[in-house]
Amino acid sequence: MKSLNKVELHLHLEGAAPPGFIRGLAAEKQQDMGDIFDDRGNYSYDGFNDFLRAYEAATSVLATPSDYARLLSEVLNECGEQGAIYVELFVSPEFCGGADLSAWRDYLAAMEEVANAYALSGVESRAIATCIRHFGPDRAKKTALCAAETAGGWVAGLGLAGAEDLGAPGDFAWAYDCAREAELGLTAHAGEWRGPESIRAALELGVTRIGHGIRAIEDPALVRDLADQGITLEVCPGSNIALGIVPDWRDHPIARLADAGVRVTISTDDPPFFRTSLAHEYEMLAETFGWSETEFQQMNLWALDAAFCDNVTRDRLK
Ligand code: ADE
Ligand code: ZN
């Protein structure tokens, strides 16, 4: 499946860091990484909260604009290997200098240089400035201000990630209003750890996309609303299975959502944490649901329609 051209809308930059990259950087800085790796050198965690802890511990090694530029280069290189022609990356100003505007500009300048180089070689990308739910609404305001001040270049959207059970989407309304005024695209994680009510609350923020959103399947009326409104779901099946939200590929609701007319798209979330890759997700979906290039092409066209950037042409997916 590597050769099929793909669009990936939901990839966390820090969550895409190969464990070897984080270990190498930690060694350079003589920083102890504690217990985030297993005996084989893979990321190790026990459940979602512990995943967030390991994720943030790995992220603590990324302390300068140049660290982020090096990481982005690794990640975009891998995206290209997986057949991605367009990628949207969640990048948090919180992790890039504590949501301080001048620091964020420095991090962005370093990352944009890398992104521009990869765009020339065929992997276009954009950043979604990401509020971290469990850091709370006040810090999210600072993130939204960073996003609004830098909107229009590589920064194309605002997102909300982190612990879904801490804080309702409505608590982040100020951040979303600020981003909308700056004409940024809007998405939010919802319906991953919490049910349909969390997705409805995220829709109130004015998002056009939902990160995950798979628990919409529990509410047929919501499924109809998502289909009717053309809301795009950024579905990450391997992530849902690795984190235990869905027991197995067969049980994953992506096919039922697609059959109900919902615009589903395929992403990896944090691939090394979940021992997956974009091509692997496609292979597992093909094996499980009998999907062929026809179905995947439709999903990639939906992804392009929902992208927060319009300079990738549809004929690149043919
Ligand atoms: N941050 C990184 N991966 C995430 C996920 N799957 N859910 C919420 N926040 C995240
Ligand atoms: Zn995510």
Question: 189 CA to middle of ligand 2, Å?
Answer: 7
CATH number of the domain that residue 144 is part of: 3.20.20.140
Asked, for residue 45, whether it belongs to a domain, the answer is: yes
Q: Which of 192, 197, 204, 283 is catalytic?
A: 192
Report CA 40 to chain centroid distance, whole Å: 26
169 lies in a domain?
A: yes
Pocket test for ligand 1, best of 269, 273, 274, 276 (most atoms within 8 A of CB): 269
Q: Is 14 a catalytic residue?
A: no
Q: Which of 292, 291, 300 is nearest to 318 (CA)?
A: 300
- In a domain? residue 314: no
Residue 218 phi/psi, 5-degree rounding, is -75, -10
Residue 71, phi then psi, degrees to nearest 5: -65, -45
Please list the ranges in the chain whose pLDDT falls under 70: none
Top mutation candidate among 10, 11, 12, 143 for ligand 1, by most atoms within 8 Å of CB = 12
Instruction: Give the position of tokens 């939204």.
Output: 144
CA of 268 to the centre of ligand 2 (A): 8
- Tokens found for residue 111: 């990352």
- Residue 109 CA to ligand 2 center (angstroms) comes to 24
CB 233, CB 213: distance < 8 Å: yes
For residue 312, being part of any structural domain is answered with no
Residue 145 belongs to some domain of the structure: yes
235 CA distance to ligand 2 middle (Å):
9
* Cβ 127 vs Cβ 95: under 8 Å: no
Q: What is the dihedral of CA 128, 182, 178, 106, to 10 degrees?
A: 50
124-132 β-sheet, strand order? 6-12, 84-91, 124-132, 155-161, 185-190, 209-212, 232-235, 263-266
Distance between CA atoms of residues 192 and 291, nearest Å: 24
What is the Cα–Cα distance from 193 to 29, expressed in whole angstroms? 35
Task: State the distance from the centre of ligand 2 to the C-alpha of 160, rounded, in angstroms.
Answer: 9
How many Cβ atoms sit within 10 Å of the Cβ of residue 315? 6
Distance of alpha carbon 244 from alpha carbon 154, whole angstroms: 34
- Residue to mutate (ligand 1; options 189, 210, 268; most atoms within 8 A of CB): 189
pLDDT of residue 25: 98
Which SS3 state, helix, strand or coil, does residue 85 take?
A: strand
Quick one: which atom of ligand 1 is closest to the CA of 239? 6
Taking CB atoms and a 6 Å cutoff, what residues make up the pocket around ligand 1? 12, 15, 55, 161-162, 189, 192, 239, 269-270
Question: 254 lies in a domain?
Answer: yes
ipTM over 0.90: yes
Number of domains observed in the structure of the chain: 1
**What's the confidence (pLDDT) of residue 305?**
97
Judge whether 237 lies within some domain: yes
Q: How far is the C-alpha of 160 from the C-alpha of 126, rounded, in Å?
A: 16
Residue 34: predicted pLDDT: 86
3-state secondary structure of 254: helix
Question: What pLDDT, on the 0 to 100 scale, is given for residue 318?
Answer: 75
Q: Quick one: which ligand is closest to 8's CA?
A: 2
Query: What is the span of the domain harbouring residue 70?
Result: 6-307
